Structure 1
Amino acid sequence: MLKYRIKKPRLVLMALSLVSALFLAIASIASSIYFYGNNHTHIQADAAIILGAAVWGEKPSPVFRERINHAINLYKNGYVRTLIFTGGVGSGDELAEAVVGKRYAVNKGVKAADIFMETTSRTTHQNLQNASELAAAYALKKVLIVSDPLHLKRAVLMARNLGLDAQPSPTPTTRYQSLNSQLPFLMRETYFYFVYLLFKI
């Protein structure tokens, strides 16, 4: 009985220590994701890879539109010479995200010849895998990854693991600005970041 009484508190302490360590790890990752996306660097690159997002019919959703607008600004201000749109056909959609993105960019003055796209991906990793193949095919060495700030730490890590010389380029006009909108996004990204570290998917 005495041995049991001694071991039980130790097990409780060990469990509490593990929970505390896990909590600190999650908090650390979440914090790094948040601050990583707030680094606005202005560097030149061969191309901007615009990560796909939802489309509404033939128009980009507000989230996707702001990603495209940011990429267009990079292009028009001479930071990149090429845009790579990613994203396939979502559930219930008729057009691929990349097709909608390209049409929007062309209507805003981007030359069609300066746009590449892939239309089969459904996830961030697939976006970047397909984009990396396009970049290799057209000798595009350095790229900017364009997405919402909270999405970028995971996306850039994926891009670099795929062999891309990638830098983040967060959308300054992201719709995820209020605490109510940022918190769910941050929690989701923290979870997927852990999943990627474990399984590389």
Structure 2
Amino acid sequence: MLRLVKVIGTGIKRLIQLILLAITLFMSILLLINLFTIGTTYQSMLSIDELVESEFIAEDVPVIVLGAGVVDNAEPSQILKQRLDQAAILFEVAPDKQFIMSGDHRDQYYNEVAVMKDYLIEQGLPSNQLFLDHAGYSTYDSLYRLKNVIGEDKVIIVTQGYHLSRALMLARGLGIDAVGVPAPDSKSSRVYREVREVFARVKDFAVTYLGYQEENRPNLAESFDLNMMGDETNDKTNLLD
């Protein structure tokens, strides 16, 4: 009986050791991927002043603003509002740029991109310089569609800094020459967003470097290019092939 207890005790001890080893390995991989993502994209994050001195201002390079939720299908969330406000500041120094609003417009009851465009029109941006990508359901979808549907391979990305490193990594993996302009960040629910981003970087690292892809994504319909007028993209049914 005593021998059986010792055997069971030894087995439990080894199991605990294996669990701790697995947890340590998982946390190490998590940390390394996050450090890699942030470290390899940091130099591509520019302030407005730095952007003005770069080739991205002088050349015909569009701006993409990534969606982040709307309230009652009528106004941008606080996080999204900060991205749009940064885009409006960018417009002041680059008034000839074309701006792509990329977000979720799955149905008539949730039209993220229309809310984004309406907000920027209120800030004084010309409607025809604001293009709507209605199928930007995720960061990867937005950038994949930018390259493979809209046909652009160089871009200025506007989003918060915590999100920007992942967006720049995905852009690089897709063959897009990109820089990012970080938008201000809200303190509200900041811890939740940053914890979520830790795991999102791992998933998109797998997408970028390991070939992972979700089924039926991204959507390749609703195509347009920047030779059109921005208002031609307002109705997604007009963009179906």
| Aligned counterparts of 1:187 and 1:29: Cα–Cα separation in 2 | 14
Q: What is the aligned length?
A: 193
1:13-162 matches, cutoff 5 A: 16-31=20-35, 40-41=45-46, 42-43=50-51, 44=54, 45=56, 46-56=61-71, 57-78=73-94, 81-89=97-105, 94-133=109-148, 135-136=150-151, 140-162=152-174
1:34–1:98: structure 2 CA closer, same or farther, 3 Å change rule?
A: same
Equivalent position SS for 1:49:
strand
Task: Tell me the equivalent position of 1:174.
Answer: 185
| Aligned counterparts of 1:73 and 1:47: Cα–Cα separation in 2 | 15
Gaps (5+ residues) in structure 1?
none
Equivalent position SS for 1:110:
coil
Greater mean deviation of Cα atoms: 97-106 or 40-49: 40-49
- Note the C-alpha offset of 1:39: 7.4
Greater mean deviation of Cα atoms: 117-126 or 7-16: 7-16
Equivalent position SS for 2:124:
coil
Larger Rg: 2
Identity %: 23
- Note the C-alpha offset of 1:38: 9.9
Q: Contact 1:145 / 1:169 at 8 angstroms: preserved in 2?
A: yes
1:111–1:78: structure 2 CA closer, same or farther, 3 Å change rule?
A: same
Greater mean deviation of Cα atoms: 50-59 or 13-22: 13-22
Could you say what the CA RMSD is over the residues aligned between the two structures, in angstroms? Answer: 3.4
1:134-172 CA distances to partner (integer Å, 9 max, x unpaired)? 652xxx54211111211122222222222221122211x
1:120–1:19: structure 2 CA closer, same or farther, 3 Å change rule?
A: closer
Q: Contact 1:30 / 1:187 at 8 angstroms: preserved in 2?
A: no
| One-letter amino acid of the structure 1 residue matched with residue 182 of structure 2 | P
1:75-96 CA distances to partner (integer Å, 9 max, x unpaired)? 21128712110112368x7252
| One-letter amino acid of the structure 1 residue matched with residue 91 of structure 2 | Y
Equivalent position SS for 1:128:
helix
Q: Contact 1:37 / 1:152 at 8 angstroms: preserved in 2?
A: no
Give TM-score scaled by structure 1 length.
Answer: 0.76
1:61–1:90: structure 2 CA closer, same or farther, 3 Å change rule?
A: farther
| One-letter amino acid of the structure 2 residue matched with residue 174 of structure 1 | D
Give TM-score scaled by structure 2 length.
Answer: 0.65
Name which of 168, 193, 198 aligns with 2:201: 193
| Aligned counterparts of 1:70 and 1:162: Cα–Cα separation in 2 | 25
Q: Contact 2:104 / 2:136 at 8 angstroms: preserved in 1?
A: yes
Greater mean deviation of Cα atoms: 11-20 or 118-127: 11-20
- Note the C-alpha offset of 1:34: 6.5
Equivalent position SS for 2:32:
helix
1:51–1:155: structure 2 CA closer, same or farther, 3 Å change rule?
A: same
Greater mean deviation of Cα atoms: 191-200 or 23-32: 23-32
| One-letter amino acid of the structure 2 residue matched with residue 20 of structure 1 | T
